Amino acid sequence: MFFKSRKINIIFLLVLLVGFVLIISQNLFHKDTMADVFVFDEQEATVMSIEKVRPAVVSILVYAYDDFIALDAPSGKKEIKKYRKLKQKGSGFLISDDGYIITNRHVVDSGGEDGEYRIILDSGKEYYAQLIDKDKLYDLAVLKIFDKNLPFVNLGNSDNLKIGMSVIAIGNALGQYENSVTKGIVSALGRRIVASDISGKSETLDNVIQTDAKINVGNSGGPLINLFGEVVGINTAVESSGSAIGFAIPINDVRNAIRSVKENGRIIRPRLGIMYKMIDSEIALDNNLVLDKGAWIDSGNDDIPAVLPGSPAEKAGLKKGDIIFEVNAIKIEGKNTLLSVIQKYKVGDKIGLKIARGNKVLIIKLRLDELR
């Protein structure tokens, strides 16, 4: 009887052991399968996103007219004539089926006052575009071609971006390889950089996306997209002294400009009227500031006023050295730069600011006017 019971126990243990081995094997197989599916899905999403957006990405050729002196051989008379010269090659993308195109301001600037803008679609079809407006705040311009039922992109939500997410840059690389594609990740968010164009003109770009997706010369103005085929940024600058360091303007910082163009025919921006620096721990320590986050009103130059004369900021009593740390209960830190938060509002909107002035906290209300 004892022998029989022991035999049953041994059989039971063998059954459990075999079952355990089968479960482990199945899980390992399942993990391998899931890994394969994940890789396949990433590749599939990449291909589908590119195919979705590429038809709406355009190459932009910017022409300007230069003077030259023509000499009439028989008479010896000199005559000033004009000739058209290709000044710049860049990228852009259609945001509507009736022909509105987003690109960088520094791309169209090279055309000067009498610039001409030739647009080449991925299909090979060509147009001449009208310059609608150039943004006074961001490296952004809007062109328009006149046709119907054109391909256009879907705009994503750049506030949902996280470091490490996959992104794809599309553009006219080096001005000769139309709709070239590079892929990388979001390397950082909320960067503040100083960028220069080919003429040496520089400007500060606030709250930009950093990516290691290669942004070549000529990619300027092209879209940075996510794996859903949505535009999350506008490719605008590269770090020439580094490798695989590119920058894009978040698409959410562009939405108001797009809406303004469609509603008013031009880009209308609200103005606060200050010069400021976003505070980090280093700036706070070096300048003995009471806060290590916020927007510190300072121009960095004694000859340039930190609070602009006649601006809403001056009328409300803001002063050099004040730190703005909240706007309508939105904390000014990280991706919420003062510029990006103010641009969520319209001209004429009334806003409330929380200000640190020395050891005092003040609440100041003001009405935004128009940046001109």
**Coil, helix or strand for 28?**
helix
Nearest to 338 by CA among 290, 291, 274, 251: 274
Cα separation of the two ends of the chain: 101
Annotated active-site residue 106? The verdict is yes
Per DSSP, 333 falls in state B
How many C-alpha atoms does 230 have within 13 Å on its Cβ side? 12
- Report CA-CA distances (Å) from 188 to 159, 265, 293: 13, 34, 18
**Coil, helix or strand for 348?**
coil
Annotated active-site residue 240? The verdict is no
- Cα gap 349→366, rounded to integer Å: 8
Annotated active-site residue 220? The verdict is yes
Strand 230-238, strand 154-155: pairing: parallel
- List 109, 133, 135, 139, catalytic entry: 139
* 172 neighbors 60 (Cβ within 8 angstroms): yes
**Coil, helix or strand for 160?**
helix
Cα–chain center distance at 367: 27
Strand 276-278, strand 323-327: pairing: unpaired
> Tokens standing for 43?
């590749």
Residues 156-180 as b/e (b if ≥16 CB within 10 A, e otherwise) read bebeebeeeebbbbbbbbebeebbb
Identify the helix (H) or strand (E) that includes residue 313: helix 312-316
- List 49, 59, 91, 106, catalytic entry: 106
Residues 212-221 as b/e (b if ≥16 CB within 10 A, e otherwise) read bbbbbebbbb
List, by residue number, the catalytic residues: 106, 139, 220
